[in-house]
Structure formats: C-alpha cells, structure tokens
Amino acid sequence: MYKSFIRPILFKFDPEEVHYFTFSLLKNFPFLAKIFLPKPIEDKRLEREVFGLKFKNPVGLAAGFDKDAKMFSELSDLGFGFVEIGTLTPKPQDGNPKKRLFRLKEDSAIINRMGFNNGGVDAAVERLKANRNVLIGGNIGKNKITANEDAVNDYIICFEKLFPVVDYFVVNVSSPNTPNLRELQDKEPLTKLLGNLQHLNSQKEKPKPILLKIAPDLSDDQLLDIIDIVKETKIAGVIATNTTLSRDNLISENRQEAGGLSGKPLAKRSTEVIRFLSEKSGKAFPIIGVGGIHTAEDAIEKLEAGASLIQLYTGFIYEGPELIHDINKKLLEKY
C-alpha cells in the first residue's frame, strides 16, 4: 500500500515539507493509519527486557524523526516498540539553512544536514508530561553556540529536565551536522561527559539507563576506546550507529550534498560496528542497532550481529510503517 500508492506521491515533493505534511496527517487523521495499514502485532514473544526496561517489541523509531516529542503516541500506534525523541538541546535553535534534507532515491538513502533544529528541551518536557503508551528515549545534545569545552553543561541541563519524563537517555556526540561535535567522542572529553552524567544519575532514587550514540566512521582503535569508556563509566549501553560521512558507491545525483548519509548504503558498516562492539566487549553491554534497515532480513542481521533492539529511520521513509509489521512478523516466524 505505502510503497505502491503513498510513496510515489510523497516523493514528488520536497522531503522536509513531506515530513511536516505526514506529521500533520498522522496527528489530525489518525484513523487513516488504522484504515490503510496492517494492525500492529502484539505478542508476548516479541517482548524484550533490556537495561531493566520492558519493550513491547524490539523495533524502535530512531532519533531525529520526532525531535520535539510531538508525535510519540501516534507513532506508537503504528506499532513501534519504543520511540526516541530528540536530539534536544537546552535552547531552541533553527538548525542549518534550508535546503538541508535530500533523498538519494537510486541508493535508497537520505543525506541530511538538519543541524539539531528543535524547539528546545522545555517545550518537549511539557509534551512528554501527557499520558503515554510507549517507552520513550530522550536523545540529548548541545546547542551550536555552546563551545565544546562547555558542552557538559548543555547535556546536564537536558538530562535534568528530561529525567522525570523519559525512560532512557541517549548522549548524542555523533551527529556530523554540529561543528566539532564528533570531537566529543574522543576518550578524554567523552569519559568526562559520561562520567558527569552517570554521577548525577547515580544520585537519583531510581537511576535511568544512559546510552551513548556513536558514529559509524570510528576506527577500530576508537571503538576499543568506546568499549573501555562504557565499562569505566558504567553507562547502560551503546546505539550504533548515527549517519556516515562516507560517500562510497553512491549513484544518485544528490550524493555530493554535505551532511550525514543514512539508509541502505550504511547498513553494512553499522552492522560491522555492532558486531565489533559485541565481540570485543564480550557482550558486556546491550547495543541498539540502527543504520540501513529496510527489510526484516536487515533487522535480523543486526540482531544476529549482537543488537538487542533495533531502530528505523530511513527505512521507515522508504518502506513505510509496514516495515515495522514485517520485522515483527518475521521475528515471530523465526524465533
């Protein structure tokens, strides 16, 4: 239904406009999803317990789609087992000038350089106070105008404000679209950042899982550092991966646009990163696998490489909400 009828229409328009259009469609006419889409699968066998939380199924929505926590209920109704909101920053910011989102149709991919456009953490907190029917991850970052030396404060502000209203946290230091952000992945600043957050977390009556989201462009040595840092700071796990700066083997016209590449061309590398982290750490911590999942088989590949849960973004745009259904159905058949 989505691929044959809806996508061809949506893909005729500017990707960012389509994003807001489908948002308002889902928000204002939620019954459309019920009419046109398969009923989400609910089955005890799909439930997963990971870092102390119970997920109704292992298929989540990756960060960046519902940055401002405006749609988590409607997205949960499509069948997602969890929804990650953000990346949120302490102050609202516009992000980069448009045009900043590009389809690479022939490659089943997207390049984005959104630059953490979001309405700020306070507005999201208000929305998250509403009743909700799904586990929510709070993905946090720093404002563009905040220097890297002061970044810890931005993450702490977001952490403290979101603490009462999210179920787990994701520290995003891997977006390629905020200048120098990825330098925070280096051993010293990262240990300091995660150590600070984990210290605050440990003082809470009931600490919440903190995860680190990493880039697919890290070397093996850097990945080994990540394993050490996760163990040392005792954070709950890793999300692998964010978008890539690589442009290998692309054929679409938009391939030279600046920004992070997501979708099919990212699948192999992100699975490699998951496998590397899982094997080299001796499965010491859970991994959420994300990057280029466009079919149920892609999802299973990530799970078999060591992921405990998976997330979708670009595959959701290209394949539609049926992809969530397909993955859960395949998981029930297979296991």
* Ranges within 155-174 binding ligand FMN (CB under 6 A): 172
Q: Of residues 188-247, which lie at the interface with ligand FMN (CB under 6 A)?
A: 213, 242-243
Q: Total residues at the site for ligand FMN (CB under 6 A)?
A: 28
Question: Within positions 125 to 144, which residues make up the interface with ligand FMN, using CB under 6 A?
Answer: 139
198 class by beta-carbon count within 10 Å (0-12 exposed, 13-18 middle, 19+ buried): middle
Tokens 């670009």, located at residue: 314
Looking at beta carbons, which residue is closest to ligand FMN?
A: 64
Judged by CB under 6 A, the stretch of 71-79, 246-254, 261-269, 281-289 that binds ligand FMN is 261-269
Helices 187-202 & 151-162 angle (0-180, nearest 10): 30
Check binding of 40 to ligand FMN (CB under 6 A): no
How many residues can be counted in the chain? 335
Residue 4 catalytic? no
Identify the residue whose tokens are 């439930």.
Answer: 47
270 is written with which tokens? 């992100």
Identify which range of 22-30, 106-114, 158-166, 275-283 contacts ligand FMN by CB under 6 A: 106-114
Interaction of residue 266 with ligand FMN, rule CB under 6 A: yes
Nearer residue to ligand FMN within complex by CB, 44 or 264: 264
Phi-psi region of 244 (alpha: psi -120 to 50; beta: other; left: phi over 0): beta
The answer to whether the CB of 194 falls within 8 A of the CB of 159 is no
The catalytic residue among 73, 108, 175, 262 is: 175
Compute the least distance from the CB of residue 292 to ligand FMN, in Å.
5
The secondary structure of residue 4, as a DSSP letter, is: I
User: Looking at the chain, which runs of residues are DSSP E strands?
Assistant: 48-50, 53-55, 59-61, 82-88, 101-104, 109-112, 135-140, 168-172, 210-214, 237-240, 260-263, 287-290, 309-312
Among 87, 108, 201, 278, binds ligand FMN (CB under 6 A): 87
Q: Find the shortest distance in angstroms from Cβ 153 to ligand FMN.
A: 19
In whole angstroms, the minimum distance from the beta carbon of 145 to ligand FMN comes to 17
Torsion angles phi and psi, residue 310, rounded to 5: -135, 165
Please check whether residue 219 is in contact with residue 177, taking contact to mean a CB–CB distance below 8 angstroms. Answer: no
CA 226 to chain CA mean position, Å: 18
CA distance 178 to 259: 10
Of 109-117, 122-130, 187-195, 225-233, the segment contacting ligand FMN by CB under 6 A is 109-117
Report if residue 289 touches ligand FMN, rule: CB under 6 A.
no
- φ, ψ of residue 178 to 5 degrees: the values are -115, 120
Q: Does 309 bind ligand FMN (CB under 6 A)?
A: no
Rounded Cα–Cα distance for residues 79 and 55 (Å): 12
| Residue 308 touches ligand FMN, criterion: CB under 6 A | no
Site membership for ligand FMN, residue 292 (CB under 6 A): yes
Structural element, H or E, at residue 216: none
Task: Return the number of the residue (101 or 305) whose C-beta is nearest ligand FMN.
Answer: 101
Shortest reach from residue 315's CB to ligand FMN, in Å: 5
Site residues (CB under 6 A) for ligand FMN?
A: 62-64, 67, 86-87, 101, 110, 112, 114, 116, 139, 172, 175, 213, 242-243, 262-263, 266, 290-293, 312-315
